[in-house]
Amino acid sequence: MQQERLPWQEDYQFVGSNITPDGIRVYPFDPAFPVDVRFVTGGRRLVRMNRHEFFEVIYIYNGSLEIQIRDRRFRLIKGDVVVIGAHIYHQLLYAPNVKAKVVSLNYQPEVIRSGAAEDEAEIYLSSFLCQGPKFPHVISGRKGYSREMFPLMLKVHKELPARTALNRLAAKTYLKELLMLLVKHYSSYLETQEVIGRKQRDVDRLLPLFQLLDERFGQHIEVRDAARACAMSTSYFMRFFKLTTGQSFRAYLTAFRIAKAQSILSSGNTSIAEISQHVGFCSQSYFGEVFRGLVGMTPRAFRQRFGTKFKSK
C-alpha cells in the first residue's frame, strides 16, 4: 500500500477532544466490532497525558518523536512499535517542526475473549494485562517482530468496517497473529496478573480529585486541596500522584486547563480573554505563554487552524 493511499489525519483530530477530566480517552469504536486502525500525523504537542480502557499498538511509520509513559520517556524512530495496556497514562511528544506519522491499532479485549477459551484468550492478551512500572513498552524497529507487525495492521485495516462475518473473522485472525508476535517477544517480561488490579486501584484513589478538577478547574486549587480530596497527606499525595499519572499535580492541572481552552477555542467564538479567565488564568498574556509552551502555537493560531474543523453541532 502506497503512502498517499493511507488515510492520514491530524493528531488533535484523532484524540484531542475525547479526553475526560480523569484523563480517559474515549474511542469511537464500532460497538459491533470494537477494533480500529488509524493513521495519524502530527508535529506539535496538542494532546495532554491520557489513558484508555482499551489496548493499543503504535507503529512509527516515519519521522521521530518521544512518548512519555507514566514518568518514563522513550525516544521513537521509524519502525519502532509501542505497546500500551489499559489505564496507563501516556502522551506522544513531537519535536518542534519535525513531522512524524504513526499508525495506531486499537481494540477492546472482548474481541479476543469472545468465543475463546479463557486460558487461550489470556495468553493472547498477556502482553497488555501484565504491564508493570518497568515494562519495556517499546520494541525496536530493528527487531524482526516489529517488521512483521505493520503488514498485519494494514491487513486489519483493510477488513474495516467489519460489516460481514467474513470481515470480522479475517480482522480477528490478523489481530491474533499480531498479538502472538507480542507474546513471543515479551515472553521473558510477563509479570503477575496482580499488576493490572493494583494499577486500577491506584487510579481509583484519585477519582475524588478528578471530580473536583472537573467542577473547579477554573478556580484556585492548591496541592493541599487536592491531597485533602484524596484523604492523603500533602507529601504522600505528591509522590503518589506523580507515580500514578507520570506528572506532578501542577503540571496535570495546567494541561487540563489548556485542554479545556483548546476545546472552547475549537468550538466557538468566545474571546481569548474570556477563555483565559474561564480556565483559571488571571492574566491573558500568561495564559498565552503557557498555551504556546504546551501546544506549540498561540491560542489565536490554534483557533484559526482548528476552529472550522471542530464546531459544535
pLDDT at 12: 57
Which residues of the chain carry a pLDDT beneath 70?
A: 1-4, 11-17, 43-46, 190-199, 308-313
- In which residue ranges of the chain is CATH 1.10.10.60 found? 206-306
Homologous superfamily of the 206-306 domain (CATH)? Homeodomain-like (1.10.10.60)
Q: How close are the terminal C-alpha atoms of the chain, in Å?
A: 35
Q: CB of 119 within 8 A of CB of 43?
A: no
Q: Pull the grid cell for residue 124.
A: 493472547
The grid coordinates of residue 39 equal 493513521
Pairing of strands 8-10, 35-42: parallel
Which CATH architecture best describes the domain 3-193? Sandwich (2.60)
In 63-128, the DSSP E strands lie at 64-69, 72-77, 81-84, 90-93, 100-107
- 281 and 257 Cβ atoms separated by less than 8 Å: yes
Contact criterion met (CB below 8 Å) for 218 and 279: yes
Q: Please, which residues bridge with residue 9 across strands? A: 40
Name residue, grid cell 512524524.
100
Tell me the per-residue pLDDT of 104-145, one tens digit each, with 9 for 90 and over: 999 999 999 988 787 788 899 999 988 888 899 999 998 788
Q: What is the pLDDT of residue 193?
A: 47
Which residues make beta-bridge pairs with 195? Answer: none
pLDDT at position 43 is 59
Q: Answer whether 238's CB lies under 8 Å from 248's CB.
A: yes
Which residues make up the CATH 2.60.120.280 domain(s) of the chain? 3-193
Q: What is the pTM of this model?
A: 0.75
**221 CB-near residues (< 8 Å, 6+ apart):** 212, 213, 253
In this predicted structure, what is the pLDDT of residue 296? 82
pLDDT computed for residue 203 by the predictor: 84
- Over the stretch 250-297, which tens digit does the pLDDT of each residue have? 999 999 999 899 889 988 889 999 999 999 999 999 999 999 888 888
Mention every residue, 6+ apart, whose C-beta is less than 8 A from residue 98. 43, 63, 64, 65
DSSP 56: E
The pLDDT score that the predictor gives to residue 3 is: 45
